[in-house]
Structure 1
Amino acid sequence: MDPLSARVATPDALEALIGRPSERTRHKVRTELTDADLRWLAASPFCVLATSDADGRCDASPKGDPAGSLVHVIDRRTVAIAERPGNRRVDGYHNILANPHVGMIFLVPGRSDTLRVNGRAQLVSDAPWFDRLTVRGSRPVLAAVVQVEEVFGHCAKSLVRSGIWHPDGWAPEAVDGPGSSRASRSLDEFIRETESEQVAGYSSGLY
């Protein structure tokens, strides 16, 4: 069977399958951060930053810092996220240089609802508020500043379905690290070696 024989190709066809959102859902999008949004951002230690280049090729990059340090709120329509040491690919930042439109989703551990923020980003190498982004004595050399265009809460159903916050469903030992190769080593040997390398690298290279 052709996997695309039942392709959905129009907005009308999509709506016929999924239905229409409620009035409340359609009108929940805001253009600036509320007090509740600010509290959520202050409690969030993790987000995913989605970008695309000029041709529409996409990237989604995880961003993490201690809660209270992940996001610097410049004002209710402007937020900043610091760049921390990584693998230097900076795919998302290359995308921002070509196409400023970004989307972010902020998680709070133990909470199944999320906060989504969409807007336009630019990169800056310094600003008066960079000192506030310092973590463990490390001041960032780059930050993404996002002009907020849309902000709204996202319902909890996807995270509830995933059971992501329930430890009894966790099985980190069941998979290799992304992009890794165990070759002929046993899984236990691979995990011990990988964890040892990560601990050594992460203990000195997080910031």
Structure 2
Amino acid sequence: MTGIDQSQLITSEAELRSLIGYPSELVEHKVISVIDSNCRNYISKSPFLVVSTADSHGNCDVSPRGDAPGFVQVMDDKHLIIPERPGNKRIDTLRNILSNPHVGLQFFIPGLGETLRINGRAYITKEENLLKPLAVKDRAPQIGIVVEAEECYMHCAKAFLRSQLWKPETWLDKERLPSPAKIISEHANLDGSTPEVIAARLEDGYKNRLY
């Protein structure tokens, strides 16, 4: 690795613990194994989560999911279901689940720094009785991700406080934001895929193919 002093790399948990220390008793005991009423309430108010998966070789992926608050449905005290809305058809998350069912979820509520984390095992279902209640504009998802919870716990707000993520006054002006269309155009490097063409394609997808 260029520019990295390999003698300074940390290679054991013991060395990590000597620097970081150990979690408090509260942190050790805040993890539960069921989706209790507190978790249900949080999920019912959450419009956004990220799903972390890895394939059988350990190659990782993190993918966002979002919709109206409560779009993720809690089925019972061990299971929830996430509707799979139309996307770019890469299906990275879904392919990973087929080869390695272990997933990590992190739920967000805008304006709240603390997030809800749920780790467990995932399954892909096409059962109509489960998917019909998840319909939007009379369009039920073709498939859903069912997660069996193994760990549920609250994650502290320090990252949000440091980043000031929920403070609009810290946000960049629109003119200073990176251009997604330009980035995609240059990364894809395909004839005819100019930033203008990509921008129009993105806008059409956002307007006409959310569901």
What TM-score comes out, normalization by structure 2 length? 0.88
Whether 1:198 aligns to 2:199 is: no
Aligned residues of 2:31 and 2:153 also touching (Cα < 8 A): yes
Q: Is the 8 A contact 2:106 2:116 kept in 1?
A: yes
Structure 1 residues 85-104: aligned runs within 5 Å? 85-104=86-105
Q: Structure 2 CA distance, aligned partners of 1:96 and 1:202?
A: 26
Q: CA RMSD in A?
A: 2.0
The counterpart of 1:15, out of the listed 17, 21, 36, is: 17
Can you list the C-alpha shifts for 1:147-187, whole angstroms capped at 9, x where unaligned?
A: 1000000000011111111112212442121742469xxxx
In structure 2, distance between residues paired with 1:137 and 1:203: 17
CA distance in 2, matches of 1:199, 1:176: 13
Could you tell me which residue of structure 2 aligns to residue 175 of structure 1? 178
Give me the TM-score of the superposition, normalised by structure 1: 0.90
Residues of 1 paired with 2:144 and 2:128: CA distance? 9
Which residue number in structure 2 is paired with residue 77 of structure 1? Answer: 78
**Matched residues in 1 for 2:186 and 2:130: separation?**
44
Q: Which residue of 39, 64, 67 corresponds with 2:66?
A: 64
Aligned residues: 200
Partner in structure 2 of residue 120 of structure 1: 121
% identical aligned pairs: 38
Task: Name stretches of at least 5 consecutive residues in structure 2 with no aligned partner.
Answer: 188-194
- The one-letter code of the counterpart of 2:179 is D
Residue 196 (structure 1) shift: 4.5
My pick for the range that moved more, 103-112 or 174-183, is 174-183
* Structure 1 residues 147-186: aligned runs within 5 Å: 147-171=148-172, 172-173=174-175, 174-177=177-180, 179-181=183-185
| 1:103-130 superposed Cα distances (whole Å, 9 cap, x missing partner) | 0000001111100000000101124221
Counterpart-to-counterpart distance in 2, 1:127 and 1:66: 21
Partners of 2:121 and 2:6 in 1: how far apart? 34
1:100 maps to amino acid: P
Q: Distance in 2 between matches of 1:177 and 1:81?
A: 26
AA matched with 1:90? I
**Structure 1 residue 198: deviation in Å?**
2.8
Asked if structure 2 preserves the Cα contact closer than 8 Å seen for 1:41 and 1:106, the reply is: yes
Q: Distance in 2 between matches of 1:15 and 1:31?
A: 25
